[in-house]
Amino acid sequence: MAKSKTKASEPTTGEHHAAKAHGRAARVDKSLPASREQLIAMHAEARRRRASAPLGSDAYRAAADEIGRIEIRIADVDRSADPPRG
């Protein structure tokens, strides 16, 4: 039987691992509203557009990109709350 190439400090499949940055840092789109309620409504509408668009189409990709921008803005709003949410 071959030895595992996993280091002792690395978890095996299915176990938790320490969160690490993946890729580039997210950019907050400050042109989006600062109201969590407005952002949630925008997010729902963008999800509806994505769900109704053909998979892989320009409309699908545009809605998916918008969902990402909105989610990053929601996280930004949540972090700036007093006390911070989540």
The pLDDT assigned to 84 comes to 81
Q: Which residues of 68-77 are buried (b: 16+ CB within 10 A; e: fewer)?
A: ebbeebbebb
d(CA 81, CA 20): 24
- Please give the backbone phi and psi of residue 71, each rounded to the nearest 5 degrees, phi first: -65, -40
Spatial CB neighbours of 31, under 8 Å, sequence gap ≥ 6: none
- How sure is the predictor about 81, in pLDDT bands with cuts at 50, 70 and 90? confident
The distance of Cα 13 from the centroid of its chain, to the nearest Å, equals: 23
Mean pLDDT of 58-67: 98
Per residue in 18-53, pLDDT (tens digit) is 666 677 888 999 999 999 999 999 999 999 999 999
